[in-house]
């Protein structure tokens, strides 16, 4: 990095102590930006980077609620409204015991560039809570969501900030959140949240969009080498929303998806994952993935192990940050790995990314590869604004065009900056330039 970038980075470290994943996300973007600093002195003069690293607004609040035993529980809620240069803050809510300010800031920072890459009018934000919905009854989840929204409602709105789902937040949680927003504000403001149910303003394909988009991006990367997913051995981490639809979509391209996981362990099913059974176990029954192996003869369950111990040609990490490490990258690259597309946010560690790239493995960073989810959220906002509802085919077609467009944009930018095939650089530079130009136009705000 240049001296100037190093100086801004140390400012970020000093200002945000102890937020390791946020530092990691900033560092990764800065590593790509060293190439553009000289080309755009106007960004430097206006201190665009310094401003970009400081969220426009950060909200932290208490979330008190009553559990089924009548005991009062306290959680912490967060919303980081990071950057609104391109549109209202947009990004999901994560409910997971690991959530803290640093995690929300890393996710919000990534979201700025991802949203810019989609070409849609959306800024970047993220939120969540250290609440763990696992093992909680529907009543407990509802009371938590109502309390969470009782504070959040005053900060959001269809032209201000539009949250959606993420880990631990699906249609059930969005339903409780929307219900409470509607009740407090006395407004049926569909565009205030995305990921809604189809009957009450949701968009077809939103549930599938992130996983579908990740696979579309992987297929586009493979095409650049005259290859495709057809017949490939594929491994996916996680078994939540993103993972499930990545598996389903990869199968439609003729891939053989043989392994996936949850936070307790992983399954290997050489006959190919049965998506219907997986959905039944993980989404309907909310059970552990071991249950899948218990019901399917061709499947084995490995407790506590890493799904990246399984040899594969295409890896789709769809669980969480820093789950795909250097050891996994090195071993898989030696054993026939061709491509990695990140369905999750920052699942590969910086060292893993470096190893994959130097081994010639195609690597699609989450900012680009998983942008299909937020892009379809923007399509949901479009439908809400025009009081319209599109059919599945039309919406999926739009998603496909957007993912192909993001791939082209990353590839063209990487080429322009002398790093053909480097999608990390392409995504960071392309996203940054769009946001920086808008910030420049607005003056010092
Ligand atoms: P989800 O439905 O809650 O599923 C998360 C999956 O990852 C579950 O299988 C979970 O296992 C597993 N997991 C979570 N934490 C883990 C850990 N520490 N170690 C191992 N496995 C873990 O969430 P999701 O919506 O699919 O999100 C997955 C990733 O995609 C996240 O990085 C998210 O930020 C990113 N993403 C999501 C969207 C979206 O539209 N939902 C859009 C863009 C990016 P358990 O079942 O055991 O908890």
Q: Which of 213, 236, 262 to mutate to test the pocket of ligand 1 (most atoms within 8 A of CB)?
A: 262
Domain with CATH 3.40.50.720 in the chain: 208-369
> Exposed, middle or buried, 43 (CB in 10 Å: 0-12/13-18/19+)?
buried
pLDDT digits (tens, 9 = 90+) for 15-53: 999 999 999 999 999 999 988 878 899 999 999 999 999
Contact indicator for 365, 387 with CB cutoff of 8 Å: no
Pick the CATH number of 208-369 from 3.40.50.720, 2.60.40.10, 3.40.50.2300, 3.50.50.60: 3.40.50.720
For the chain, give the percent of residues with pLDDT over 70. Answer: 100
**Minimum mean pLDDT range among 40-44, 167-171, 358-362:** 40-44
- Check whether 1 has a pLDDT greater than 80: no
**pLDDT for the residue numbered 2:** 84
Please identify which of the residues 90, 105, 114, 126 carries the catalytic annotation.
126
pLDDT digits (tens, 9 = 90+) for 294-328: 999 999 999 999 999 999 999 999 999 999 999 99
Distance of CA 340 to the CA centre of its chain: 15
Distance 240 CA to ligand 1 centre (A): 6
Q: Does the Cβ of 228 fall within 6 Å of ligand 1?
A: no
DSSP 18-75: T-HHHHHHHHHHHHHHTTTTTT-HHHHHTTHHHHHTS-SEEEEEEEEEE-TTS-EEEE
pLDDT digits (tens, 9 = 90+) for 224-247: 999 999 999 999 999 999 999 999
Q: Average pLDDT, stretch 384-412?
A: 97
- Check whether 129 has a pLDDT greater than 90: yes
- Check whether 342 has a pLDDT greater than 90: yes
Domain with CATH 3.40.50.10860 in the chain: 56-188
**pLDDT for the residue numbered 34:** 87
**pLDDT for the residue numbered 176:** 98
Distance CA 410, CA 259 (A): 29
pLDDT band at 413, cuts 50/70/90? Answer: very high
**pLDDT for the residue numbered 174:** 98
Strand 233-237 to 314-317 pairing: parallel
Give ∠ CA 107-195-402 in degrees, rounded to 5. Answer: 70
Q: Does the Cβ of 166 fall within 6 Å of ligand 1?
A: yes
Tokens of 264: 């307790």
Q: What CATH number belongs to 56-188?
A: 3.40.50.10860
Contact indicator for 74, 66 with CB cutoff of 8 Å: no
pLDDT band at 426, cuts 50/70/90? Answer: very high
Long-range contact set of residues 396-403: C-beta below 8 Å, sequence gap at least 24: 396/205, 396/212, 399/205, 399/209, 399/212, 399/213, 399/216, 399/372, 399/375, 400/216, 402/118, 402/119, 402/213, 402/371, 402/372, 402/375, 403/213, 403/216, 403/217, 403/220, 403/371, 403/372, 403/375
Q: Does the Cβ of 259 fall within 6 Å of ligand 1?
A: no
């Amino acid at each position: 990095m240049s001296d100037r970038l190093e100086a801004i980075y140390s400012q970020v470290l000093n200002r945000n102590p102890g937020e390791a994943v946020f530092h990691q996300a900033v560092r990764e973007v800065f590593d790509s930006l060293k190439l553009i600093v000289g080309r755009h002195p106007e960004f430097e003069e206006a201190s665009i980077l310094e401003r970009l690293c400081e969220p426009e607004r950060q909200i932290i609040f208490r979330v008190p609620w009553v559990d089924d035993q009548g005991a009062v529980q306290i959680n912490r809620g967060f919303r980081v409204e990071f950057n609104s240069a391109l549109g209202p803050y947009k990004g999901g809510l994560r409910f997971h015991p690991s959530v803290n300010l640093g995690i929300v800031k890393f996710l919000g920072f990534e979201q700025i560039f991802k949203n810019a890459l989609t070409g849609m009018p959306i800024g970047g934000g993220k939120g969540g809570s250290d609440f763990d919905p696992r093992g909680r009854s529907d009543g407990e989840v509802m009371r938590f969501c109502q309390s969470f929204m009782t504070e959040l409602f005053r900060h959001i709105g269809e032209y201000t900030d539009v949250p959606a789902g993420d880990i631990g937040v699906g249609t059930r949680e969005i339903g409780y959140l929307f219900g409470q927003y509607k009740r407090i504000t006395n407004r049926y403001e569909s565009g205030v949240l995305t990921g809604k149910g189809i009957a009450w303003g949701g968009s077809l394909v939103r549930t599938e969009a992130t996983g579908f988009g990740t696979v579309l991006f992987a297929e586009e990367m493979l095409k650049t080498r005259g290859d495709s997913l057809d017949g490939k051995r594929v491994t996916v981490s996680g078994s939540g929303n993103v993972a499930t639809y990545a598996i389903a979509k990869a199968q439609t391209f003729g891939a053989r998806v043989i392994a996936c996981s949850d936070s307790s362990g992983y399954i290997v099913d050489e006959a190919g994952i049965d998506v219907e059974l997986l959905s039944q176990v993980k989404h309907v029954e909310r059970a552990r993935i071991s249950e899948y192996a218990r019901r399917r003869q061709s499947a084995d369950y490995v407790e506590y192990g890493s799904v990246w111990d399984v040899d594969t040609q295409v890896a789709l990490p769809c669980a969480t940050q820093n789950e795909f490490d250097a050891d996994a990258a090195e071993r898989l690259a030696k054993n026939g790995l061709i491509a990695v597309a990140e369905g999750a946010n920052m699942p590969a560690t910086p060292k893993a990314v470096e190893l994959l790239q130097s081994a010639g493995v195609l690597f699609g960073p989450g900012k680009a590869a998983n942008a299909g989810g937020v892009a379809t959220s923007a399509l949901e906002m479009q439908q809400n604004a025009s009081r319209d509802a599109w059919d599945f085919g039309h919406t999926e077609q739009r998603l496909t065009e957007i993912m192909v467009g993001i791939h082209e944009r990353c590839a063209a930018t990487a080429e322009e900056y002398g790093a053909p095939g480097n999608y990390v650089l392409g995504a960071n530079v392309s996203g940054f330039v769009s946001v920086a130009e808008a910030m420049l136009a607005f003056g010092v705000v």
